[in-house]
Structure 1
Amino acid sequence: MASNDMKNTPERFAIAVVIFILATLLIIYNSSSGNNSINYKGHFVYDVLSHAPSSLKKWVTKDGYLPVSGNKTMKLHCGSCALVTSSSHLLGSEVGSEIDETECIIRMNDAPTSGYEKDVGNKTTLRVVAHSSVFRVMRKPQEFLNRSQEMVFIFWGPPQKMQNRKGGIYRLIHQVGSLFPNVSTYIIAPKRMQQFDDLFQRETGRDRKKSHSWLSTGWFTMVIAIELCDSVHVYGMVPPSHCRKPQHKRIPYHYYEPKGPDECMTYIGNEKAKRGNHHRFITEKDVFAQWAKLYNIVFSHPSW
């Protein structure tokens, strides 16, 4: 028993430190997040607008992802990838073992695997996390960070939050990077963030800011998956026409939040909203349908 306690001491200490950091930084974050409008330029000045390249396969550059610590370069490349969404369509699918057999497995934000392994798998290679989800991820460090396999985290968000050395988000991400050596953490560079905006405008004809839109984590994750993977199998994402059908099934937006909002109500509400900033989920899926023809992407549960 004593040896087991000794073995678990570093793990318990790391979790305790994370909890302490969370409590401290949550206060800092709440006090400094009065304006959540996403303006990627913020305090950063660009000499020229960074247009998105014609092919997403040409996005790979060593300066697109900034290491949270050290001078590592994001070198992840995979032949085949499973992009696992957070949709309740995955419940009862029993595709967990199929997902875990894929070379690289990509997940988003705070979507857990514990308790859902049969439907969503257990392994994670890459997790793409929005700035607004960092605290939710860190509430369960043993779920997302304390795993034996090496993982890559890519955080995205407004540069004024992600690179503000006095801000809670910046400090939390940097503390996590130093506490968990088996996790490689990166932040999407300001220049690359602008490219995501350019890409949205190029593909939809709509300026993100003028149309009062936030790009979703799904948008960032899909582009990153196309960039890093030779083929992408997307699990749980509905086609753009799904919520336009009157007979669509009402299901929770997230598989791990059974009492959460309805998926289609969330999609339609965001798509039609004209005030405030909202995700354009259905518009993004229209774009994904076009990308599927170009970049070796397949969709299942449901199939497109």
Structure 2
Amino acid sequence: MHFHLFLVILLPPFTPQGQQTHKMAIFLAVFILTALLILYGSNNNNDAFYGPFHVSTSHALKITNLKTWAGKEGYVSVYGNKSLNLRCHQCALVTSSSHVLGSRAGDEIDRTECVIRMNDAPTLGYAADVGNRTTLRVVAHSSVFRVVRRPSEFLQRTDSSPVIIFWGPPNKIGKDAKGTLYRLIQRVSMSSGNLSCFSIAPSKMRRFDSLFHRETGRDRQKSHSWLSTGWFTMVIAIELCDNIKVYGMVPPNHCGKKTASKKMPYHYYKPRGPDECLTYLQNESGRRGNHHRFITEKQVFARWAKQYNITFSHPTW
């Protein structure tokens, strides 16, 4: 919203007798005008704060060594006293983007030492493009019910000993919360002998927030941002993998190109779902409420790619 200010100052006639009054009127006018300009500038700053989101160029970004940023701690076994000992030389990180459709990358993905997936992205019916194996699945608290509803796909696979890492607010999935989601995750872990389930500890959740601030120059809460499952998954993959090949992730400038005019579903398994670029752009510039900053996150991923042996396929960038 923009405000246009009009200030009309009526000054007394300039006479020797009114000279002092004239000076006082000018001083008062300047004072009022200054106050109004400060108020006007404050309103404009609020609009700028909620403007298109991007990595802050005025912030001296601090380089974080993600291999050592949080050590080996921070992943809490949901059932039993298991430790997250997963370590991989080569990883395939398969996104949920519809850009993987038609890639015929399934065999290549399945030949990779470790395969990482997100939320409830299925393999059944899509194996030619996304493969069939799953080593690690990173699941947001908002996707727990969708995962549990399809146990044969996500929880009872006998071809491997997969790991699931759940992330979310500690009051929803924290071990001390004992909430509905935590109890559900615990029952899943108890009933699936070959499945190892972990949640991210509250202390590490705070470190994810701090990492976003360090890498973007933006405070997550003050900027009304939600970290995406992609953000958690990329950081976890860097911790666990020596080399990462990402399938289906577009570069940060993709949605500004003419080639992005073709509608691409946000999820490959929901062909009638929202358009990917529309979702990215709406979240990136969202002013009210909380939003994923997908494009900003990809700007960070592009920088990390040079540090941590990350490559991108379908599309390549």
Q: Confirm whether residue 136 of structure 1 aligns to residue 149 of structure 2.
A: no
Say yes or no: does 1:297 pair with 2:310: yes
Displacement of 1:152: 0.2
1:217 corresponds in structure 2 to 229
Aligned to 1:49: none
Q: Give the aligned residue type for 2:194.
A: N
Query: 1:140 and 1:169, CA in 2 relative to 1: closer, same or farther beyond 3 A?
Result: same
Aligned partners of 1:154 and 1:188 also within 8 Å: yes
Matched, 1:153 2:164: yes
Q: What residue is the counterpart of 1:104 in the other structure?
A: 114
| Cα contact 2:140–2:167 (8 A) shared by 1 | yes
Alpha-carbon offset, residue 56 of structure 1 = 0.3
For the residues of structure 2 that align with 1:268 and 1:167, how far apart are their CA atoms? 34
Deviations 1:97-116 (A, max 9, x none): 00000000000000000000
Query: 2:273: which partner in 1?
Result: 260
Label 1:182 to 1:60 Cα distance change in 2 as closer, same or farther (>3 A). farther
RMSD: 1.2
Q: Which runs of 5+ in 1 are unaligned?
A: 1-51
Contact in 1 for aligned 2:244/2:310 (Cα 8 Å): yes
* TM-score of the two chains, using structure 1 as the length reference: 0.81
Larger Rg: 2
Q: How does 1:212-251 map to 2 (within 5 A)?
A: 212-248=224-260, 249-251=262-264
Q: Distance in 1 between matches of 2:173 and 2:155?
A: 20
Distance 2:82 2:251 in 1: 37
Contact 1:82–1:106 (Cα < 8 Å) also in 2:
yes
The total of aligned residue pairs comes to 253
Residue 172 of structure 1 corresponds to which residue in structure 2?
184
Partner Cα distance (1:219, 1:117) in 2: 24
- Show the 5 A alignment for 1:71-110: 71-110=81-120
CA distance in 1, matches of 2:211, 2:70: 15
Please give the alpha-carbon distance, in whole angstroms, between the structure 2 residues aligned to 1:300 and 1:237: 8
C-alpha displacement of 1:70: 1.2
CA distance in 2, matches of 1:287, 1:185: 28
Tell me if the contact between 1:53 and 1:59 (Cα under 8 Å) persists in the aligned partners: no
User: In 2, are the aligned partners of 1:85 and 1:235 still within 8 Å (CA)?
Assistant: yes
The 5 A counterparts of 1:171-210 are 171-210=183-222
Inter-partner Cα distance in structure 2 for 1:166 and 1:296: 39
Please state how far the C-alpha of 1:62 moved relative to its aligned partner. Answer: 3.8
Q: Report if aligned partners of 1:60, 1:227 keep a CA contact under 8 Å in 2.
A: no
The CA deviation at 1:240 is 0.2
Aligned letter for 1:179? S
Q: Spell out, residue by residue over 1:186-223, the C-alpha distance to the aligned partner (whole angstroms, 9 max, x if none).
A: 00011110110000000000000000000000000000
Q: 1:159 to 1:236 in 2, by over 3 A?
A: same
Partner of 2:59: none
User: Is the 8 Å Cα contact of residues 122 and 269 (structure 2) preserved in structure 1?
Assistant: yes
Name the CA distance, whole Å, in 1 between partners of 2:110 and 2:141. 27
Contact 2:70–2:204 under 8 Å retained in 1: no
Displacement of 1:69 in angstroms is 1.1
Hey, what's the Cα distance between the residues in 2 that align with 1:290 and 1:197?
A: 18
The unaligned stretches of length 5 or more in structure 2 are 1-61
- Separation (CA, whole Å) in 1 of partners of 2:75 and 2:273: 33
Distance 1:134 1:119, change over 3 A: same
Q: Which residue of 1 aligns with 2:127?
A: 117
SS at match of 1:75: coil
